[in-house]
Every structure is written in structure tokens, then in C-alpha cells.
Structure 1
Amino acid sequence: MRSSTERPPRVRSAHVVPGAGLPRGVIVLLGTACLVIVVGGMKITADLLGPVFLALMLTVTVSPIAIWMRRKGVPLWLTMISNVLVVYLLLAALGLAMAMSLSRLVDLLPQYQQQFLDLRANVAGTLGSLGIDQAQVTAALDKATTPGQIVGVIEWIFGGIAGVLSNTVFLLAVLLFMCVDAIGFPARLAASGLQRPQVAGALREFAQGTRRYLWVTTVFGLIVAVIDTVALWALDIPLPFLWGLLSFITNYIPNIGFIIGVIPPALLGLLQGGVEKMIWVIVVYCAINFVIQSIIQPKVIGDAVGLSATISFLSLIFWAWVLGPLGALLAIPLSLLAKGLLVDIDPSTRWITPLLSSGPLPVAETDSAPDGRVTVPTAPAEPD
């Protein structure tokens, strides 16, 4: 018989996994369905979300100015006014430059009407000699090679920003409130971090990554724009300032911004000086833009924000589909925001971060065996 002082044998308790009531496949399907609904709603409300996202990115970018002013003892009211004025001046300068450049383009293109007609006739004749129906070729070229169509393409390229700037009242109001709230946001975030450190850390990482991306891209964009403007001026291409501005804006479009920026000046080079000048424009752009935008800049940005080239390209396609041209310009910051809200905010999903990044993993996350193989450390066994 067991004495009353003996303890009963210890029974190992089963390890309860949170969310084990549903199979993992069902959870994935439910999450995917919710994601589809959210993305569909964002696409429907793109005209509303576009200005909000643009205002958020601009506010995050200039917020260090307000933080620096507060540390220097600048009064709160002056800090608020300065923060708002910086953003307003940036938008005003960009909108004025775009408006002046587009107006000059509209005035210039009718002068090339005869060159357009000659080019269309040459293309139709060449395709006709290859056995293609002359009537179909002429009808297609009538729709695609007119000055109005070219202006339409340029307006679409600038359309993301131009469309947002046209809704001036809403954009300025959102920027005003965001810039005012941004001054006290670090203190509120620190207070929230006492209860939810993961949330505060994810938001800080998003803000820092967005600032790093925008500052790096802006610096590279200015370098490319200045070099392109000087090169196009040397080649006697009309409106070199406009095409330099286009290079600066398309520099924010990952991977394919260079291709979009070269089309208009190459076309004008073809109309003005023939195939030889068009080739020179393409060669100059390839030597400048391709080397900087496609080789040097992605490496710097990848190290700065922690997104691989594949993720950057897929982000471009996705956000351009959801929000239009403005989504293409803000693809990387929006992806950083989504990563912060969906991945970094939850410790159980941070295993996805190495799959999204392009750089080497931290040494602390992996152990290398003597033969070079990478092993994942296992958790210690539970004591009995």
C-alpha cells in the first residue's frame, strides 16, 4: 500500500499550441481570403488611400526635422509651422516644375507633326513590305503615333502625383494633421512600447526603413537627373529639364523606372535627328541610368531596407495594380509598412523576415558546421 506521504506519479501535461483548434491549412485559407477582401477594398478606395499614403510617407520623411528642433529647444508652435511648411514647399516645387514642363511639352509637340507623319509612313511601308496588311498597319499607327497620344503617355507617367496634387484641399489637410501629430508621436510610441514593445519596434523599423529608402533614392535621383539633363542638353534634345525631372520621378519606381524614363527623350531624338540620335540617347541613358539605377542603387537600397530584388519588383507590380501610378512610386515604403504590420509586429511570424531580405543572415541566427553546412539550433528539451 502507498503511504499517505507519497506523492502520486507525475503526469506529463500535453503541450497546448495556440490556435490548434483549426488545421493550419484552414488558417492559411482564411488569412488569404481576408487578404483578398482587404486588397479589393484598397483598390476600390485607391483615390482616397493614395493621398493618405503619400502624406504618411512625406510626414515620416521630414519628421526628424521636428525632432531635432524640439531637442534644440525650439517652441512647439514654431516646430509645427516649420514641419508643415517644409512639406508644403516640397509639394509646391514639384507641382510647379511638373506643370511648367508639361505645358512646354504640349506647346512643342505640334511642331513635330510632319516628323510624326513621315515616321508613320516609313514604319507602315516597312511593315507592308514584310507582307503585313497596309490598312491594318495604318489604322494602328493612326491611334498610337500622334502627338496627342504621346502627351497622354507623359501625363499618365506623371499622373500618380498630378492626380494627388489636383485634390489639393484633401492632401493639404491630411498633411497638416499628420505633421502636427508627428511632433508628439515619438513620446506616445515610447509610452505604448511599455505595454507592446513588439508593436513599437515594428513601427520604428518601418519609419527608419522608409526614411533610409526615400533619402537614398532621392540622392540617387538627383544625381541621375542632373547627369541626364546635361547629357540631353549636349545632344540638343528638346526640353532636357523635363526629361531630367522625369528621370528623378521614375527613379522611385523600382527596376523599370529607367525604361519608362528613356522612352520620351529617345522618341524625340528619333523625330529630330533620326535613328542615330535616338541610339545616342539610349546609349547615354544606359551608361548613366542603368549603371546607377539597376546596379548600384538596388544594392544600397537592399542593404538599407532589407528587401530582396524579387520582393521589390513584385511590390512594384502589386502596388501599381492596387493604387495606380502613385502605388508604383510608393511601392517600397508601402511594402515596408505591410511588412511591419504583418510580420515584424508578431514574434511568431518573424521567421519570414530572412526570406524577404537580400543580405546575409546575422551570425546569431544561424550556426555554421565545420563542413560549411548551416544548421538551425534546436530548442532545449523540456525537463521531466
Structure 2
Amino acid sequence: MTGESLSPPARIAIVGAAVVIVLAGVRAATPILGPFLVAVFFAMITAPAMAWMTRRGVPPVIAAGTVVAGLIGILVGAALFLGAALTQFLLSLPRYRAALEAQAAALASYGIDPGSIRIWDYIDQGTVVREVAGLARQVGSIAFDAFLVFIAIGFLLLEAPRLAAGLRRHLGAESPLYRHFSQSGRLLIEYVIVRTKVNLVTGVGTGLFLYILGVEFAALWGFVAFVLSYVPYIGLVAAAIPPTLLALVGIGPAGAVTVIIAIALIDAAAENLIFPQIASQGLNLSPFVVLFSVVFWGLILGAVGVFLAIPLTIAVKLFLESWDETRWIGELMDAGDRRE
């Protein structure tokens, strides 16, 4: 029985079953696939730096080693910064809890029952210490995964030109599939770079505003905002919770409201000033697809899937748009405001 003789429902059922099997395999291979996807992500971000050095005569091995060494330096610096900041934050938790309880008690004058507000249960020092201790016990596994990621980044940077040349040789430089593959790769790399720029503006702007406002650990919360902004919608909301609580403790309700409004305005400015250049190239996903992708890839790949949800979804979208039969699915994922 050929594919043409099958009825449309039968073809849909077969394709759906194949997709389920593939996704189940991907989920089972997450311990291996997760670090590899992280390596691909960072290799995409650093590919322009690698190309810039090789164009100026730097040997590829030295250029790749320099890029990887730079990433290691950034990771170590970030880890030391987070360790120092979190230690000071943990030591300050009892003081914050007492002040927050006083703020909650003051709400009784507005007719709000302070007993129904148990925000401090989520910032209990013992709970936070246990979570941090559990994470510390996994340092060995995390370090091994990081080692594999950095090795993979180096090989990916070195092998990228050879892989591109091999595809061009076997598919043909004028092949529609090769042209689409090359264009998709460039667009995906540009998306990752622009997304990082947007996050940097959001993180730096958040940190500076919190510092001016007088919120403690402003640099820490700015860094958290930068990292979590890779998770659309949900990430920045989660990043805004700690500084909002600290503003409530140190300044009062007006300070907490000010932090929420300011972070929302900073993010809106970054998204509207920087990100539209990507939307103009057809990589703007609909809000529903964005939220669905975060949940979907999170269920499949865990934390890696949550942070890489949008690049993975864009890759799927570009893949679907490569064939006439599936192009309509990719177009449905678009936000509908593509600029011609």
C-alpha cells in the first residue's frame, strides 16, 4: 500500500504516531541530548566571534580555544558572583522576613487579613538553605556536564565550516534545500544573538533601576532578569518577584508597585526597540505558540527545554516551511505581522 492510496485520516494517524515515538525517544535521551543542545546554543552565539578571528588570520584551533576559554571565564565569574551574592542574601533572610511580616500586619488597616498572606513561607531561610545544599551536592554532575558542553562547543566551532562545505558539495550550491538550510541557519543564529541583546538590555536596565531605587542586591536581580528572560513571559515575571518583595520590605507598597511597573516598561522598551528586526524576517511567533512551546519543550527536555524553547520552536517552524505539504503549519505558527 502506497502513501497515495492511504486516506487522509490514515496518513495523519501514521504521522502522529511517528511524532509521538520520536518525542518519546527525545525525552528518554534528555540526559545526553540536553548538554548537546546547550552546546549548539552557545556555539551559535559565539560563531560570529569565531568567524571574526579566523578572517583576521587566527588559526581555527586557537580561535575556537579562545572562544571556549572566554565562555569558561564568563561561567566561572558568574558562578563566583552568584555564590557571593546568594550567601549575603541568605544571611539577610531573617531580617527580610521580620520586616515583611510587619508590612503584612500593616495591611490590616486596609481591611486585609494579614493571616491569609503567607509570603514569607516562600522565603524561609531553612527551605532556601536546603535547596541550595541540594544543588551543591550536584556540583560534580554539573561540572562534568559543563566539561562535556565546552568540549562540544569547541568541536562544533571547528567542524561548522567542514559540515557546511560537505552539505554544499552533496546537495549542490543551487539546491533549494541547501539554500533554505543556509538561510534558516543564519536566521536562527541572528535570532539567538538578538534575543541575547534584548535580555542584556533588560538585565542591565533592571539592575540599574533597582540600584537607583535602593533595592538591595540590585546586580543579582539584574543578572537573574537577564538569564530568565530567555524564558518568554514567565521568566521575567519570576525574576521580578524577589526585588518586588525586597522593595516592599525596604520601601513599602509604593516601592513594590514602582518596581513592577519599571521592570515591565524596561522589558517593553527592549522588546520594541531591538526585537522587531527579527520579526521583520518572519521569525515572530504567535503568543500562544510561545507559551505552548515553553510548556511543551519543558515537558520533553526539562530545564534545558524551557530555556531553549523558542530557538527549538523556530527551528521546527523553519523545518516545516521547507516543504509545500507542511508550509501551512509553519505559517500558522507565525504572529501574522510579518513585514514584507
- Specify if TM > 0.5: yes
Distance 1:110 1:204, change over 3 A: farther
Partner of 1:24: 8
Secondary structure of 2:216's aligned partner: coil
Distance 2:330 2:194 in 1: 22
Residue in 2 that maps onto 1:279: 257
Aligned to 2:99: 115
2:239 is matched with which residue?
261
Pick aligned residue for 2:317 from 329, 339, 342: 339
Q: Quote how far apart the aligned CAs of 1:243 are.
A: 0.7
Once the 2 structures are TM-superposed, how far is the Cα of residue 116 of structure 1 from its aligned partner?
4.4
1:302 to 259, 274, 279: 279
Preserved CA contact (<8 Å) 2:228 2:239 = yes
SS at 1:348 equivalent:
coil
CA distance in 2 between partners of 1:230 and 1:142 (Å): 26
Give the Cα separation in 1 of the matches to 2:103 and 2:300. Answer: 36
How far apart are the structure 2 equivalents of 1:313 and 1:207?
23
Q: Counterpart amino acid of 2:280?
A: D
User: Could you tell me whether the CA contact under 8 Å between 1:210 and 1:333 is conserved in 2?
Assistant: yes
Q: Is the contact between residue 93 and residue 125 of structure 2 (CA under 8 Å) also seen in structure 1? A: yes
1:38 maps to 22
Residues 70 and 79 of structure 1 are in contact (CA less than 8 Å); yes or no, is this contact kept in structure 2?
yes
**Preserved contact between residue 194 and residue 278 of structure 2 (Cα < 8 Å):** yes
Of 198, 204, 227 in structure 2, the residue corresponding to residue 220 of structure 1 is 198
Aligned length: 334
Q: From 88, 94, 101, give the equivalent of 2:72.
A: 88
Of residues 233, 246, 250, the one that matches 2:211 is 233
Task: Determine the structure 1 residue equivalent to 2:137.
Answer: none
| Cα distance in 1 for residues equivalent to 2:111 and 2:124 | 18
Deviations 1:76-117 (A, max 9, x none): 433332343344344334444433333332233233242244
1 CA distance for matches of 2:15 and 2:155?
33
Whether 1:65 and 2:42 are equivalent positions in the alignment is no
**Structure 2 vs 1, CA of residues 287 and 237 (structure 1 numbering), >3 Å: closer, same or farther?**
same
Q: Provide the rounded CA distance (Å) in 1 between the counterparts of 2:275 and 2:92.
A: 35
Contact kept? 2:68, 2:150, Cα under 8 Å: no
Call closer, same or farther: CA 1:332–1:73 in 2, change over 3 Å: same
1:182 corresponding residue in structure 2: 160
Match of 1:376 in 2: none
TM-score normalised per structure 1: 0.73
Shift, 1:172, TM fit: 2.4
Specify the structure having the higher radius of gyration (Cα). 1
How far does the alpha carbon of each residue in 1:291-326 deviate from its partner, in whole angstroms, 9 at most, with x for none? 434x55554442345232232232222222222333
Runs (5+) with no aligned partner, structure 1 = 1-17, 157-161, 364-384
Letter in 1 for 2:83: A
Provide structure 2 residue ranges, at least 5 long, that are not aligned to the other structure: 135-139
Partners of 2:133 and 2:309 lie apart in 1 by 20
CA contact (8 A) 1:210 1:305 kept: no
The C-alpha deviation readout for 1:180-200, integer Å capped at 9, x for no partner, is 322423222322332993543
* Residue 141 of structure 1: how far off its partner (Å): 6.3
Residue pair 1:198, 1:347 contacting (<8 A) in 2 also: no
Structure 2 distance, partners of 1:332, 1:42, is: 17
The CA distance in 2 between the partners of 1:258 and 1:192, in whole Å, is 44
Distance 1:327 1:191 in 2: 33
Partner of 1:352: 329
Secondary structure of 2:17's match?
A: helix
Change (3 A) 1:116 1:284: same
Question: In angstroms, what is the RMSD of aligned CA positions?
Answer: 3.7
Distance 2:161 2:84 in 1: 34
1:249 Cα offset (Å): 1.2
Q: Once the two structures are superposed, what CA deviation does each residue of 1:3-27 show, in whole Å capped at 9, x if it has no partner? A: xxxxxxxxxxxxxxx7212112111
Deviation per CA, 1:184-241: give whole Å up to 9, x if none. Answer: 2322232233299354334323321222112212222222222211211111111000
Residue aligning to 1:270: 248
Deviation at 1:119, TM superposition (A): 5.3
In structure 2, the residue matched to 1:367 is none
Paired residues of 2:286 and 2:333 also in contact (CA < 8 A):
no
Residue identity in the other structure for 1:306: L
1:191 to 1:99, Cα distance in 2 relative to 1, 3 A: farther
Q: CA deviation at 1:123?
A: 7.5
Letter in 2 for 1:357: D
The separation in 1 between residues aligned to 2:110 and 2:131, in whole angstroms, is: 25
2:307 aligned to which of 329, 334, 338: 329
Higher helix residue share: 2
2:292 corresponds to which residue? 314
